[in-house]
Chains A and B, each alone.
Chain A
Amino acid sequence: MTQSLIIEKKSTRAGFGDALLELGERNPEVVALCADLTGSLKMDAFAAAFPERFFQAGIAEANMMGMAAGLTIGGKIPFTGTFANFSTGRVYDQIRQSIAYSGKNVKICASHAGLTLGEDGASHQILEDIGLMKMLPNMCVINPCDYNQTKAATLAIAEYVGPVYLRFGRPDWPDFTPADQKFEIGKALCMKAGHDVSIFATGHMVWIALQAADELANQGVSAEVVDIHTIKPLDEEFVINSVRKTGCAVTAEEHSVFGGLGDSIAQCLVRNIPLPLEMVAVNDHFGESGKAMELLEKYGLDVPAIVSAALKALERK
């Protein structure tokens, strides 16, 4: 892939951290809270620049979520930062009651999502967080694909009123979307047009899906690659139109096959345009230690997996 050689790699979490600093300068109501992971979340620049608006919660995520909810009562726009595992499963009831049901304008920002956090292993590799968050009424769920998009998404959610779950990751990853992009919550993005199969991908898997589309092109298959950065609300109109054109679909996500993007797309297709769908996701399994790319390969989240899913979907047409 010659293209990947010239594309710079940066982590999505760095996109979050850089945007948070920018927000600090731009909007005096923005405050940030972190549970002892300031460096990992790239929140240190904000903390240094705006110490009075940064709250170190310690290893006490439940209290952090509650304080974030409380800070909205005086009109603040709180951004919480910790790993995806501790941003969701650990504090599900706090998010459910104090944030979602209370209708509080909290931005839950979660790094190290999925397998690609790597060596720390299954205890930290949450693969259920999209499902947990999208089931909560009022909760918007966003999983951007690279540094630039994470930065744009972070800026965008500060303007949106309501609770948001923003999911990003640890590894350096190709930064292939434009730096000057305008991020529209709830709008799918066509990364590559095609007419044989639609590949709906989210997060890091958008890049893998683009590689898979190149491979499919070599085999004479024209794949459309769509970046679903907003899983909830889902851009159903775009999904339906794409599948109407191509006749079959594949989903790709760094998440369990249960509850994630695949589920959302399947629901949309079944209700509107029931055509073949294959899902590339982790199949009811915990992760393990290893390098990010090794893990994606072992758990079937790589280029060959997407190619074979696409060919299978094509066969089922």
Chain B
Amino acid sequence: MPDIDYLNSVSKQVRRDIIRMVHAVSSGHPGGSLGACDYLVALYFEIMDHDPANFSMDGKGQDIFILSNGHLSAALYSVLARSGYFSIEELASFRKLGTRLQGHPGTDKGLPGVRAATGSLGQGLSMAIGAALSKKLNKDSKKVFCLMGDGELQEGQVWEAVMYAAANKVDNLIAAVDYNGKQIDGSLDDVLPLGDLHKKWEVFGWKVIDAKGNDMQDLIKSLQTAISYTDKGIPVVILLHTEMGFGVDFMMGTHKWHGVAPNDEQAAEALNQLEETLGDY
């Protein structure tokens, strides 16, 4: 049985890490990172079968994850460090010259846990499909997970990948959409509406699951359901109904914290709302 209280306490600490990391360099993307962090914690601390101490690029025999919306790097780095891929002290180097924790994830500095450079949007799902095909060729029964932003679905390449995965029965893949309804310029509906996203994925041939993206219990249940749907000839996607900025009241209900770091007072106020659970880096 998953320990929901423990997972929630990890999420709290990851949220603190996110605020402290972006505040320290006055740059980064707190809004989406806070919103999607519960999903990442659920994946890395409960769902995925992975071996942080023995990271290998080819990921053979392990579940692997690709963050397509690379601007959520602060959340990813915190979750990677907190699950043992590298020391939490390294989080202090986020976005600083010479760091392995680049503004958007890259592979060239050798940071354990990152297998794909992302940040230019729309590319991660294609890579995840390739990794899933590779697992099939290798008779590797482990799964590939991929998180995308909802605004990212405006990129045409995503729908090329969506078509391919369904047509070719890439069924060892679980995609997820951080469906917070917001992007840099405003709400998705104002910028470029996605229409009925659930139906869209469905008519493209995917199994679609809706999940409460900031409810750990529901996330775990939805991910377990998603896994039960794998290996049945149909790719699976989870629509994560999240709140951008979740956990910090003044960062919620707005798109304004997409790519803006809090100042000293705002950071202090945010940290007041986020209990230190596992110890700050």
- A-contact 0/1 string along B52-93, CB 8 Å cutoff: 000001111000101000000000000000000000000000
Interface positions of B from 92 to 124, Cβ below 8 Å from A: 106-108, 115-120, 122-124
Q: Is A160 an interface residue (CB 8 A)?
A: no
Query: A53–B134 Cα gap in the complex (Å)?
Result: 10
Tell me which of A66, A70, A103 contacts B107 (CB under 8 A): A103
Give the distance to chain B from A28, nearest Cβ to Cβ, in Å: 9
Give the distance to chain B from A62, nearest Cβ to Cβ, in Å: 4
Give the distance to chain A from B132, nearest Cβ to Cβ, in Å: 7
Contacts of A94 in B (CB 8 A): 123, 126, 157
Looking at chain A's contact residues, the main secondary structure is helix
Number of A-B contacts (CB under 8 A): 119
CB-based contact B134/A101 at 8 Å: no
Give the distance to chain B from A36, nearest Cβ to Cβ, in Å: 12
Query: A76–B123 Cα gap in the complex (Å)?
Result: 19
Interface positions of A from 242 to 268, Cβ below 8 Å from B: none
Q: Is A98 an interface residue (CB 8 A)?
A: yes
Contacts of B164 in A (CB 8 A): 57-58, 60, 63, 67
Q: Is A55 an interface residue (CB 8 A)?
A: yes
Contacts of B117 in A (CB 8 A): 97-98, 101-102
CB-based contact B160/A70 at 8 Å: no
Determine which residue in B108, B116, B119, B126 has the highest number of CB atoms from chain A within 10 A of its CB, and name it. Answer: B126
Known pairs A58-B164, A75-B60; A98 contacts B126 (CB<8 A): yes
Q: Is A5 an interface residue (CB 8 A)?
A: no
Query: A108–B163 Cα gap in the complex (Å)?
Result: 22
Give the distance to chain A from B112, nearest Cβ to Cβ, in Å: 14
Contacts of A63 in B (CB 8 A): 126, 129, 157, 160-161, 164
Q: Is B148 an interface residue (CB 8 A)?
A: no
CB-based contact A97/B126 at 8 Å: no
Contacts of A73 in B (CB 8 A): 57-59, 64, 115-116, 127, 130-131, 134
Give the distance to chain B from A34, nearest Cβ to Cβ, in Å: 13
Contacts of B161 in A (CB 8 A): 63, 66-67
Q: Is B128 an interface residue (CB 8 A)?
A: yes
CB-based contact B108/A62 at 8 Å: no
CB-based contact B135/A74 at 8 Å: yes
Tell me which of B60, B127, B156 contacts A70 (CB under 8 A): B127
Query: A62–B162 Cα gap in the complex (Å)?
Result: 12
Q: Is A68 an interface residue (CB 8 A)?
A: yes
- B-contact 0/1 string along A74-87, CB 8 Å cutoff: 11101000000000
Interface positions of A from 46 to 71, Cβ below 8 Å from B: 52-53, 55, 57-58, 60, 62-71
Contacts of B106 in A (CB 8 A): 101-102
Q: Which residue of B lies closest to A106 (CB)?
A: B130
Q: Is B133 an interface residue (CB 8 A)?
A: yes
Known pairs A60-B163, A102-B116; A67 contacts B60 (CB<8 A): no
Known pairs A76-B137, A98-B116; A66 contacts B131 (CB<8 A): no
CB-based contact B138/A75 at 8 Å: yes
Give the distance to chain A from B120, nearest Cβ to Cβ, in Å: 5
Determine which residue in B119, B127, B132 has the highest number of CB atoms from chain A within 10 A of its CB, and name it. Answer: B127
Give the distance to chain A from B166, nearest Cβ to Cβ, in Å: 12
Give the distance to chain B from A84, nearest Cβ to Cβ, in Å: 20
Query: A58–B115 Cα gap in the complex (Å)?
Result: 26
Give the distance to chain B from A96, nearest Cβ to Cβ, in Å: 8
Q: Which residue of B lies closest to A56 (CB)?
A: B168
Give the distance to chain B from A177, nearest Cβ to Cβ, in Å: 34
Contacts of A96 in B (CB 8 A): 120
Tell me which of B127, B131, B133, B163 contacts A55 (CB under 8 A): B133
- B-contact 0/1 string along A22-42, CB 8 Å cutoff: 000000000100000000000
CB-based contact B131/A74 at 8 Å: yes
- A-contact 0/1 string along B126-155, CB 8 Å cutoff: 111111111101101000000000000000
CB-based contact B58/A66 at 8 Å: no
Query: A138–B140 Cα gap in the complex (Å)?
Result: 30
Q: Is A93 an interface residue (CB 8 A)?
A: yes
CB-based contact B130/A67 at 8 Å: yes
Give the distance to chain A from B222, nearest Cβ to Cβ, in Å: 24
Give the distance to chain B from A88, nearest Cβ to Cβ, in Å: 16
Contacts of B131 in A (CB 8 A): 70-71, 73-74
CB-based contact B157/A74 at 8 Å: no
CB-based contact B134/A66 at 8 Å: no
- B-contact 0/1 string along A285-305, CB 8 Å cutoff: 000000000000000000000
Beyond A58-B163, A62-B160, A75-B134, 11 additional contacts (C-beta under 8 Å) are A63-B129, A65-B126, A69-B127, A70-B128, A70-B132, A74-B59, A74-B137, A74-B140, A78-B130, A101-B117, A102-B127
Q: Point out residues on A near B: beta carbons under 8 Å.
A: 31, 52-53, 55, 57-58, 60, 62-76, 78, 93-94, 96-98, 101-103
- 8 residue pairs, one from A and one from B, having the closest CB atoms: A70-B130, A66-B126, A74-B134, A63-B160, A60-B160, A70-B127, A67-B130, A62-B157
